[in-house]
Structure 1
Amino acid sequence: MELANLAAFLAVADAGGFSAAAAALHLTQPAVSKRIAQLESELDARLFDRVGRQVLLTEAGQLLLPRARQLLGDANDARRALRELEHGIGGSLRMICSHHIGLHRLPPVLRKFSARYPQVALELRFMDSEQAWHEVLHARAELALTTLGPATPPLQARVIWDDPLCFVAAPTHPLALRKKLGLSDLAAHPAVLPEPQTFTHRIVAAAFQQRALALQLRMTSNFMETLKMLASVGLAWSVLPQSMLDKSVRVLPVAGVRLSRQLGCISHRGRTPSKAAQAFVQLLHQHAA
């Protein structure tokens, strides 16, 4: 249904006549009559009865009246929201974040974003990086903050943080007592790492595969905090982001190997970014800088 025809219908119903409706809409009476005729033809129902000088709603017209008000009200709300969007940042932002970024990178950015753009309704979910990519791919989220892997169209990746990785073990672990190590030494001991399908596991596994070495996986977890705990109690060696190091673990002096991953933002190339998403990404870059 054309909104202009619905507006003419409401004007006639409220004014009680075609002439008064035409004056209210700044149209000619024939133009209003034409719009009503088009609406009646589209709906295949008579909307007004002309009884003498009176114009009365038919049963179909009475049924349409509240729905027409709702439709035009929704249209006006949409126009107002779009006008407000031109002058400010509002609306909603659906975003996914990996647990590690959520705990160690996101809080200051989220605090600043919420204070600066209180009109934005933020929907934030936490999940593994690989799942987050899938959600963005299928348009169930606008942004994802994750560990970055190879991005293929239609997804695009923006690097926000470099995240150096360190081999670690408990201070009492046999490997931690050595002054110099190679990957072959680590291969002789069990490890606790993220699950094999994760980007972080692939980074570690690639270093061992290049040297024809096999990993001994004792346990897997996609939560870095869990890996840190398992390593700190001497269960196995692990790999942790440099930002998570403390006295509970010791960095293993592995010669000739430097591991790093990139953390950043994933979006869909085919989707026009909302102003809220653009503002959030801008804050991410400012914070990283």
Structure 2
Amino acid sequence: MNLTDLRIFVSAALRPSLGAAAVDMHLTPSAVSKALRRLEASLDTPLFDRTAKQLVLNDSGQRLLARARALLALADQAKSDVMGERAALACRLGGPALLLWRHGQGAAEALRTWPDATLSLQAMFEDEALAALARGDINGAIVTGEAIAARGAEWRAGWEATPLGELNLQLVAGKTHPLARRKKGGVVEASSAQVLEHDFACPPRSLFCGVQRGARSDGWRDDQLPRRIRYWTDDLQLLLGFVRSGSALAYLPDFALVEADLVRIHVTDCAFRCTEQAFLVWDSASGAQWQHVLARTLASPA
């Protein structure tokens, strides 16, 4: 039994087919099949129930999977800690696109000490991110406090939720929007009546958890200030496109205002405030040195 065969086994256990595992490992299906047979021979027991189209883990395979993932995590940690800055790290972070947008540059900054490190940012909703972390597909999940509070079946012992700061949602407009002409000192002042004369863009699902909430998806209180939502899209870039062009307003986290062509609108008589807390969820118990550096860097105020 060797580490290479264990990695192939874990990939095959988590993928829907031998072919998918081969693509994941950059191998041929034949090479994957030989590695699995070699591992089974070394353990003197079958690990899969084989059908014509797929591999299904049997009870022995299920028992080995947890052990194999733990062994591989320890091996990766030992290698990166011993090699230090020479280690070729593969940092994989998952989470909602909004949160990856906010923290992607911070993650890149944390990895500058490792010249051969790679960073993969995988957009997915919060439950998907936690499930991917549990499978070992990613090293960390960036999620909101709501996902932390739920702590579903995917939550593992040893996981740590590192606070990454608060997101304050703001009403945002493009510089060509009619309300942007009222800008004074960097902020547009407008009443709710003036704001509600204009069209809005809104995602039909929460951009964090993916739940279908309609007009409530972005946190705006339509029960208090009902809007005219003309543009609906789950795609963040499309939504921002409507805002940048001046076609619509949107309710977005404050860090969106780093965009040079967006301005904040302060609604002078708005009685509600919407905030979200962001967290990095990762396995601090088995994390390598670079993962601790990543968590510290992302948690530090900019």
Q: Aligning the two structures, in what range does the TM-score lie when normalised by the shorter sequence?
A: 0.5 to 0.7
Kept after mapping to 1: 8 A contact 2:77/2:288: no
Shift in CA distance, 177/146, structure 1 to aligned 2, threshold 3 Å: same
The residue that corresponds to 2:121 in the other structure is: 125
**Residue 262 of structure 2 aligns with which residue?**
249
State yes or no: 1:144 paired with 2:141.
yes
What's 1:161 paired with? Answer: 165
Q: Does residue 259 of the first structure (1) align with residue 271 of the second (2)? A: no
**Can you list the C-alpha shifts for 1:237-287, whole angstroms capped at 9, x where unaligned?**
112333332563342231334333333312369x7434432232122223x
Are 1:277 and 2:291 matched, yes or no?
A: yes
For 1:202 and 1:275, the matched residues in 2 are separated by: 41
Of the two, which has the highest radius of gyration? 1
Q: For this pair of structures, how many residues does the alignment match?
A: 209
Aligned pairs (5 A) from 1:214-253: 216-223=229-236, 225-245=237-257, 248-253=261-266
Q: Is the 8 A contact 1:129 1:147 kept in 2?
A: no
User: Which residue is 1:69 aligned to?
Assistant: none
List gaps (5 residues or longer) in structure 1: 2-41, 44-77
- Choose between structure 1 and 2: higher helix proportion: 1
Q: Secondary structure at the match of 2:147?
A: coil
CA distance in 2, matches of 1:79, 1:228: 42
Which one of 177, 190, 198 corresponds to residue 207 of structure 2? 198
Amino acid at match of 2:169: L
The percent of aligned pairs where both chains have the same amino acid is 17
For residues 81 and 203 of structure 1, what CA distance do their matches in structure 2 show?
A: 39
Q: Retained in 1: the 8 A contact 2:110–2:293?
A: no
Instruction: Give unmatched runs, 5+ long, in structure 2.
Output: 2-42, 45-72, 183-188, 210-214
Amino acid at match of 2:207: T
Matched-pair contact (CA < 8 Å) for 1:168–1:251: yes
TM-score when scaled to structure 2? 0.52
Q: Which secondary structure does the structure 2 equivalent of 1:240 belong to?
A: strand
DSSP 3-state at the match of 1:141: coil
Mapped partners of 1:173, 1:98: distance in 2: 28
Alignment TM-score, normalising by the size of structure 1: 0.54
Task: After superposition, give the CA deviation of every residue in 1:181-217 in whole Å (9 maximum; x if it has no partner).
Answer: 22x66556432123423338857346334x2746625
The structural deviation recorded for 1:94 is: 3.5
Q: 1:180 is matched with which residue?
A: 190
User: How far apart, CA to CA, are the structure 2 residues paired with 1:144 and 1:234?
Assistant: 34
2:104 corresponds, among 103, 106, 111, to 106
Alignment-mate amino acid for residue 243 of structure 2? A
Shift in Å, 1:166? 1.6
1:120-164 per-residue CA deviation (whole Å, 9 max, x = no partner) reads: x64623213434234224443230234553322226643213232
**Aligned alpha-carbon RMSD (Å):** 4.2
